[in-house]
A and B are shown apart, each in its own frame.
Chain A
């Protein structure tokens, strides 16, 4: 077995040091009836590297990867070009095979990255502080709702109809157990978002309003009036960003009054990977930092007076507060945070803005071209790199039919909102820098055929 270095001679020598005659002697505390005498049945034995690679490659080939087809899916996960150096750097063993930086003297690499990451995220989202990351956008969103409850000591959250339906599902699952009351409705096919309706629903029992920006249909709205309305009754505004590249082009939620801004950071540096691992972003106003979940890295000095970094404010966390912790979260999404930070450093503000302009430009071109297809209407007045088309028939059937022709057309609202058939003709289309003018033309032609 290529990963196990002990030889049989080693094992014998070690057993004699221990004073045991056989390995079985070391398992004496396992009751006899629970001890397996031989190996577990029905499972194959070890295999060579070549054989395993062949098996896995065969499974990989059964998938149609995004790079092989005209590709327009978004809705919470986006295909962007990740520079080659990002993946090279995250595979350095000192990053890849390190543990959580509990021994800061020999983890300054990871810690400095986290400090830089926290600063990058806070600035991108327009907040004072950010943590070292959460599992993904959906769990970060739920944690924000819980944090708003702790701050306001109120248990009713209003979820915008434009919030990603899977984020809503996660929150609903958790709320069943925590007793939070969540108000939410499926979206309607309007060009305007539901901000006015949310403002009308806020009352003195509201802990927070949760709004996605741009929303699940790609619409963008100024959050300032919503923040003002929430603050007027002592409630918080939680903004959710699932496409952080957008913030290279549009105002940051923190600058429009959001108290907590969470997001899915997958877009920057982290590939699609069929949904995980992803990267939960979590930022807030300075005054709420002690109610924040998750790990935090802070600056300090060492005994000789040099600047260094440590994990800090850990009394909020489970390993110290145990049942009184702000969250049971134990890990962050460290390697994904590293990838995000490297990619963001490569981009810099200049590159991020260029990337955002390119995404928006291609998306506008695509929206205008697709809207010319008979049977297609563009829903959005405003959008960044993702918009919703209303088709003349059920979008889910169209998506499946186009997939059979090798075109990955977008995400149907039927897939996202199976219980809202009235919006089933909606198709959410994302257009990033990876889309070519030829891809747009291919999609337009394919839609034309399918809707004819």
Chain B
């Protein structure tokens, strides 16, 4: 059997230190308020919305009127505001402090972007309005597309993918369409072991067999092993650059040349574009397709897990196969090229990926961010992101193992491992300790190639003072974990919840709320 994945404790040991903390009758603790579920506090007879009286008409519902109780509780407006405000306070967020989640680029979300996205001219237009009534929206897409193409030095961009993984899919579909167009069926995609999980998942979805590319001891793609594996069955190589170990792939151009010589394509996972924007153009490195997570590099809000947006920049070779629809400048105006007109000059498109035109609400935010920074500001973004990461790396590498600390400067993120922690202490303990210190933990146990990985990405929007406080916290935790401080294993103590039992959740999944009487009867 395979046992490649690292296990970590997923069911906590019971804690019993309640005797030292006085209980309250409500369970609340001053500003930390417990909040019940809407199903427990709401009722189906309550509503927080008033409507005009409906006209009296004979129903045309085809005898399908819904007569059963739906079971949707309502709250008054005041109760609603309070419910969600209380819940919001149980979340950590960038607005509260440093959020060093490696590979995720949690940078400040400027509020101008939010204001612009809510302008009625953007927020309140329908995707199927006649094109004469949405010229400003098409102009936004076109203007953002021009920036992305220029910043990456690529030939074109497909704007419609809905998120990074959706962008990967777009890139691989374009590659597959290009190969099929030249009658060259290939079956294998090479992916480094350190890649994001979406890479192999996407490749497999597109019908490809996935093979690992080994890494060198210094944390980069093993060029010789890659060259040796290239052949007529390889469709593409997927490479993350800067890679998930936080290192720039020095041999990228050589890799691209070798891949092209073998008749294959280079897909670049652009999740880490933030580190090089304005300083390096992927187009100069021989990349054929790369998705750009607008929610990372261009600071559209993560929103507790999406929505994202993942435009894909394409080389000249892949451009004819890009998806529909796209925006084109025609004369003084802009036109949307859809299925109807595609045949005229985009007949090779692999087709449509989403119902409409992509994440317009993210395009307005990203363009606002880009215009605010300008070419000079974006270059500064990359420089400060890399500077901050190296500062963290060199301020901690005496107390934490930095497996690639000797491989040169890191890019936008610093990678540590659990090597040297006392017996029985893990990356998880450090992560949970950071919660008590008032920080969101770093990315843990990724990339998979490093044991007990801790991946720290501070981003450029953190001040030196914020970094120093974070370094202070992480140094303290590293020292406690090395000294075997048992108290650390109970962390977090001060969060809204102690460690949660993921084993219980997975063994007996409770995915929706059931009235207690029904739940009991079912047992």
B47 and A110 form a contact (CB under 8 A): no
Q: Which of B85, B87, B117 has the most CB of A within 10 A?
A: B87
Task: Determine whether the beta carbon of A110 is less than 8 Å from that of B375.
Answer: no
Shortest Cβ gap from B184 to chain A (Å): 16
Give the shortest distance, in Å, between B10 (CB) and chain A (any CB). 9
12 sampled A-B residue pairs with Cβ under 8 A: A15-B387, A17-B391, A27-B386, A36-B280, A43-B151, A62-B139, A87-B118, A95-B88, A103-B440, A115-B512, A272-B125, A330-B165
List, in ascending order, chain B residues with CB within 8 A of A299's CB.
505, 510-511, 513
CA distance A126 to B246 in the complex (A): 46
- Report the Cα distance A100→B77, complex, angstroms: 27
Say whether B356 contacts A274, CB under 8 Å: yes
Within 8 Å by CB of A433, from B51, B99, B350, B362, lies: B51
A323 touches B203 (CB 8 A): yes
User: Are B387 and A345 in contact (CB-based, < 8 A)?
Assistant: no
Contacts A177-B176, A344-B72 given; indicate if A103 touches B94 (C-beta within 8 A).
Answer: no
Residues of B within 8 A of A66 (CB): 124-126
**Residue B358 interfacial (CB < 8 Å):** yes
The complex places the Cα of A362 from the Cα of B63 at a distance, in Å, of 19
From known contacts A46-B376, A77-B356, A404-B132, infer whether A418 and B125 are also in contact, taking CB-CB under 8 Å: no
Chain A residues whose CB sits within 8 angstroms of the CB of B3 once the complex forms:
none
Chain A residues 1-59 with CB under 8 Å of chain B are 1-6, 10-11, 13-15, 17-20, 23, 25-31, 33-36, 39-40, 42-47, 49, 52-53, 55-59
When distances are taken between beta carbons in the complex, the residues of chain B under 8 Å from A287 are none
Interface contacts beyond A33-B284, A289-B509, A304-B15: sample of 10 additional A-B pairs, CB < 8 Å, sorted by A: A4-B460, A14-B387, A97-B106, A99-B106, A99-B302, A115-B512, A137-B355, A271-B123, A275-B360, A303-B14
Min distance, Cβ A33 to any Cβ of chain B, angstroms = 7
> Are B137 and A274 within 8 A (Cβ)?
yes
0/1 string, A48-80, CB within 8 A of B gives 1? 010011011111111111111001010111010
Choose the segment among A166-174, A181-189, A199-207 that binds chain B (4+ C-beta atoms closer than 8 Å): A166-174
How distant is the Cα of A180 from the Cα of B92 in the complex, in angstroms?
A: 43
Would A40 and B375 count as touching, CB distance under 8 A?
A: yes
With an 8 A cutoff between CB atoms, is A255 at the interface?
yes
| Cβ B51 vs Cβ A358 within 8 A | yes
Please encode chain B, from 304 to 317, with 1 for each CB lying within 8 Å of some chain A CB and 0 for all others: 11111100000000
B127 in the interface, Cβ–Cβ < 8 Å? Answer: yes
Q: Which of A347-378 contact B (CB under 8 A)?
A: 347-352, 354-355, 357-358, 360-362, 364-365, 367
- Whether A173 pairs with B350 at a CB distance below 8 angstroms is yes
- Whether A258 is near chain B, meaning CB under 8 Å from some CB there, is no
Chain B nearest Cβ from A381, distance in angstroms: 7
Query: Is the Cβ of A173 less than 8 Å from the Cβ of B352?
Result: yes
A132 to B101, CA, bound (A): 22
Q: Mark B188-215, 1 if CB is under 8 A from A, else 0.
A: 0000000011101111111100100000
User: Is A250's CB under 8 angstroms from B301's CB?
Assistant: no
Given contacts A18-B390, A77-B127, A334-B304, contact A298 B509 (CB under 8 A): yes
Chain A nearest Cβ from B393, distance in angstroms: 8
A176 touches B48 (CB 8 A): no
Q: Indicate which residue in B49, B123, B278 contacts A40 across the interface (CB closer than 8 Å).
A: B278
A209 lies within 8 A of chain B by Cβ: no
> Please, which residues of chain A bring their CB within 8 A of the CB of B492?
105-106
Q: Quick check: A274 and B511 within 8 Å, CB to CB?
A: no
Number of chain A residues close to chain B: CB under 8 A: 208
- Interface check B96, CB cutoff 8 A: yes
Q: How far is the CA of A43 from the CA of B150 in the complex (A)?
A: 8
**Cα–Cα, bound, A194→B118 (Å):** 40
Pairwise interchain contact B93-A96, C-beta atoms closer than 8 A? yes
Among candidates A23, A58, A312, residue contacting B386 with C-beta atoms closer than 8 Å: A23
Partner of B501, one of A139, A302, A318, A383: A302
| Complex contact B360–A109 (CB within 8 A) | no
Q: Which of the residues A2, A106, A324, A349 comes within 8 Å of B440, measured between beta carbons?
A: A106
Most buried by B among A18, A129, A400: A18
Smallest distance from the beta carbon of B367 to chain A beta carbons, Å? 7
Q: List, in ascending order, chain B residues with CB within 8 A of A95's CB.
A: 84, 88, 91, 93, 303-304
- Chain A minimum-CB-distance residue to B303: A335
Q: Cα distance A411–B122 when bound, in Å?
A: 19
For residue A225, CB closer than 8 A to chain B, the reply is no
Whether B150 and A129, one on each chain, are in contact in the complex, defined by CB atoms closer than 8 angstroms, is no
Complex interface: chain A residues within 8 A of B106 (CB)? 97, 99
Q: Which residues of B contact A71 (CB under 8 A)?
A: 126
User: Is A136's CB within 8 Å of the partner chain B?
Assistant: yes
Q: Are B122 and A109 touching (Cβ within 8 A)?
A: no
Kindly state the separation between the CA atoms of A108 and B511 in the bound complex, as whole angstroms.
15
What 6 pairs between A and B have smallest CB-CB spacing?
A348-B74, A275-B356, A60-B121, A93-B95, A335-B303, A62-B136
The answer to whether A31 touches B44 (Cβ under 8 A) is no
B521 within 8 A of A: no
| A139 / chain B contacts, CB cutoff of 8 Å | 162, 166, 353-354
Most buried by B among A89, A95, A135: A135
The residue from A20, A23, A325, A332 contacting B306, defined by CB atoms under 8 A apart? A332
The stretch among A117-125, A151-159, A230-238 that forms the contact with chain B is: A117-125
Residue of A nearest to B164 (CB): A330
CA A25 to CA B502, docked complex, whole Å: 44
Q: Given A94-B91, A106-B496, are A100 and B305 also a contact pair (CB < 8 Å)?
A: yes
**A349 with B72: in contact, given A56-B364, A129-B512, A323-B204 (CB under 8 Å)?**
yes
Asked whether A138 is an interface residue with its Cβ less than 8 Å from the other chain, the reply is yes
List the A side residues contacting B279 at CB < 8 Å. Answer: 27, 30, 35-36
Chain A residues contacting B124 (CB-CB under 8 Å) are 65-67, 79, 271-272
Residue in A closest to B446 when the chains form the complex, CB atoms = A319
Query: Using a CB-CB cutoff of 8 Å, which residues 366-420 of chain A contact chain B?
Result: 367, 380-384, 399-400, 403-404, 408, 411, 415-416, 418-419
- From A382, which residue of chain B is reached at the shortest CB distance? B62
A-chain residues with CB within 8 Å of residue B358 when the two chains form the complex: 275-276
Residues from chain A with a CB closer than 8 A to the CB of B371 are: 44, 47, 52, 55-56
Whether B133 contacts A322 by the Cβ 8 Å rule is no
Known contacts A6-B387, A98-B302, A120-B72: does B91 contact A176 (CB below 8 Å)? Answer: no
Q: How far is the CB of A310 from chain B (nearest CB, A)?
A: 5
Residue B319 at the A interface, CB < 8 A?
no
A304 to B374, CA, bound (A): 50
Q: Are B48 and A351 in contact (CB under 8 A)?
A: yes
1/0 per residue, CB under 8 A from B, across A273-297: the answer is 1111110000000000100000111
Chain B residues closer than 8 Å to A35, beta-carbon distance: 279-280
**How far apart sit A21 and B78, CA to CA, in the bound complex (Å)?**
57
Q: Which residues of A contact B89 (CB under 8 A)?
A: 94, 109
B22 close to A (CB within 8 Å): no
Interface residue ranges of A298-339 to B (CB < 8 Å): 298-306, 308-310, 312-313, 315, 317-325, 327-336, 338
Chain A residues within an 8 Å CB radius of B355: 76, 136-138, 164, 166-167, 170, 264, 275, 278
- Quick one: given A29-B248, A351-B48, are A53 and B496 in contact (CB under 8 Å)? no
Cβ-based interface call for A197 (8 A): no
